[in-house]
Amino acid sequence: IVMQEKGSISIHTENIFPIIKKFLYSDNEIFLRELVSNAVDATQKIKRLASLGQYTGELGDLRVEVAFDADKKTITISDNGIGMTAEEIKKYINQIAFSGATEFMEKFKEAKDANEIIGRFGLGFYSAFMVADKVEIQTLSYQEGAEPAFWVCDGSTEFEIGEGILEERGTEITLYINDESAEFLSQYKLQEILDKYCKFLPVPIKFGTKTESVEDGVDEEGKPKYTSVEVDNIVNTTNPIWTKAPSELKDEDYLDFYKQLYPFSEDPLFWIHLNVDYPFNLTGVLYFPKLKNDFEFQKNKIKLFSRQVFITDEVKDIVPEFLMLLHGVIDSPDIPLNVSRSFLQADSNVKKINSYITKKVADKLADLFKADRKAYEEKWTDIGLFVKYGMVSEDKFYDKAKDFVLVTNTEKQNFTLPEYKDKVEANQTDKDGQLVYIYTNDPAKQDSFIQSANKKGYDVLVMNSPIDNHFISQLEQKLEKTSLKRVDADVADKLIKKDDALETVLTEEQSTQVKSIFDKAINRPAYNVQIESLNPDELPVTVTMDEFMRRMKDMAAMGGGM
């Protein structure tokens, strides 16, 4: 090889290498993601040029290949994309901060699928130096009369550029893996990284071969015979479901994809296909999983992609907190990558994406509710937690969900908020016109109170999920002229203040006598004894604790020092 030129990469690089190494990429395995996406990029570009009539040669079998040689300690990524001329290497590779993809996008931005060009990763190519002492490029541009070019750099700011050896269009990048990164020189490790980041890239990615058993005629008894054949090991699915139109897809496709993402999970309850291109670009499929008791472990299962390249499963700032239990995939080229968390939170696209997802989830729930109330009620135990959590944490979600959130009474009947109001309004409005909803947070322990409330014709709601305390205060704030009272807060008669005097079968004198017997027997001033009736099939007496005293006691039980 005749070296035609030596040079040094523009001065900024001296500062940039340590930044790449330490800050931008906390995880050095992403070098492979970056180089494979560049190769995919180059492949998409040649396809694009061909479809625009600007490239008239053979496209050939477009694919990217990853290979390694443990003895030589190299990893090679090759493609038959657009390739580069020596001039382009200088421009695109040497001028680090310059993104060739950005320029390409500018030039072809009117083109429909220019979007497919992955070009968001900025310093992608140089991430190779996180794992390599030396990087070589062999490349041949698609342009007519182009000469093959060669580039080598040892990670310092010095590079050499010269004549290359490629005879076919495309690019081959060879990394000479450094000693600390020897772990990457393994079939298993590379396959694992490719599975993680490249599983859904739009161009086939070949990594070695694998044996497959295929049907090969029939034997004498007419049974099929099988033989093993070596086939290319293609690591990816080029058109995952989120890139397709919902109308092309069946329930089965969504369920299969779910199984592919989370192999050992139960089927999800339902899903939402996201698809928006204005004012930001976002596609994806979000699933409502069937929650297990240890649902904390089910958090953080949403995978974030950018143009089909896996980025992260830390989606905390993109998906509203209350939807962190959802599973699935979000793909958006408009989410800034490799930037700090606080920047992400301030980013306006991220905010819009956040409220878009909230809206889509609310719309989906509203649809399910309208389409099949019975099926919706059956799933309510699983989805109720999301819905209430969402209502408590986001006003916008509350406004949508107030029409399809369900409350359940002790008879296990479900009501929407408007339905419940209709049901209890007549009997549970106090003398000031205030609606009073009565609830229990422990139906077993509070059974006698529930019975006496029921006897008064009052309905009792069950509010015993982990989020219900907050949900109750939210309802009190949001519902007009409505308060919620715990069924054991007072005796049934007094839960709802009414004008009409108490009816009791005992005279006042008899009542007082019976009460004093109970008071003596219980002998605790904090408890109230109330004589209800002496009717044999009714509760004769209730004992309640003053609400203030009850809270003090609860605090003491919680170690509040009382």
Binding site feature residues for ATP: 34, 38, 79, 84, 99-100, 171, 341
Q: Of 120-128, 219-227, 378-386, 476-484, which part binds ligand ADP (CB under 6 A)?
A: 120-128
- The position carrying tokens 């992609």 is 305
Listed ranges 92-100, 347-355, 472-480, 524-532: which one lies at the site for ligand ADP (CB under 6 A): 92-100
Q: With binding defined as CB under 6 A, does residue 93 bind ligand ADP?
A: yes
CA distance to 24, 59, 119, 254, 276, per residue, from 105 (Å): 24, 21, 8, 32, 20
Q: From the annotation, which residues make up the binding site?
A: 34, 38, 79, 84, 99-100, 171, 341
What is the bridge-based pairing of β-strands 460-462 and 435-440? parallel
Distance between alpha carbon 67 and the CA centroid of its chain, in Å? Answer: 32
Q: Which of 340, 390, 341, 334 is nearest to 364 (CA)?
A: 390
Cα–Cα distance for residue pair 480/92, rounded to 1 Å = 63
- Smallest gap, in angstroms, from Cβ of residue 45 to ligand ADP? 8
The span from the CA of 333 to the CA of 314, in Å, is 16
Tokens of 36: 């494979």
Alpha-carbon gap, residue 547 to 562, rounded angstroms: 16
Query: How near is the Cβ of 52 to ligand ADP at its closest, in Å?
Result: 17
Q: Does 337 contact ligand ADP by CB under 6 A?
A: no
How many binding residues for ligand ADP (CB under 6 A)?
Answer: 21
The first and second tokens of residue 481, run together, are 């002229």
Over the window 142 to 181, marking each residue x when it contacts ligand ADP by CB under 6 A and - when it does not, the resulting string is -----------------------------x----------
The residue written with tokens 């290498």 in the block is 17
Single out the residue of 82, 153, 311, 401 in contact with ligand ADP (rule: CB under 6 A). 82
What's the full length of the chain, in residues? 562
Q: Is 289 in the site for ligand ADP (CB under 6 A)?
A: no
Ranked by CB distance to Mg ion, the top (closest) residue is: 124
**Using CB under 5 A as the criterion, which residues of the chain lie in contact with Mg ion when the complex forms?**
38, 121, 124
Say how many C-beta atoms besides its own lie within 10 A of residue 479's C-beta: 16
Distance CA 364, CA 387 (A): 12
Count other C-beta atoms under 10 Å from residue 374's C-beta: 6
Query: Do 429 and 438 meet the contact criterion of CB atoms below 8 Å apart?
Result: no
Candidates 32-40, 433-441, 444-452, 524-532; binding stretch for ligand ADP (CB under 6 A)? 32-40
Piece of 118-126, 351-359, 363-371, 517-525 that binds ligand ADP (CB under 6 A): 118-126
CB of 121 to Mg ion, least distance (A): 4
Binding mask 500-539 for ligand ADP (x = CB under 6 A): ----------------------------------------
Q: Which residues contact ligand ADP (rule: CB under 6 A)?
A: 34, 38-39, 42, 79, 81-84, 92-93, 99-101, 119, 121-125, 171
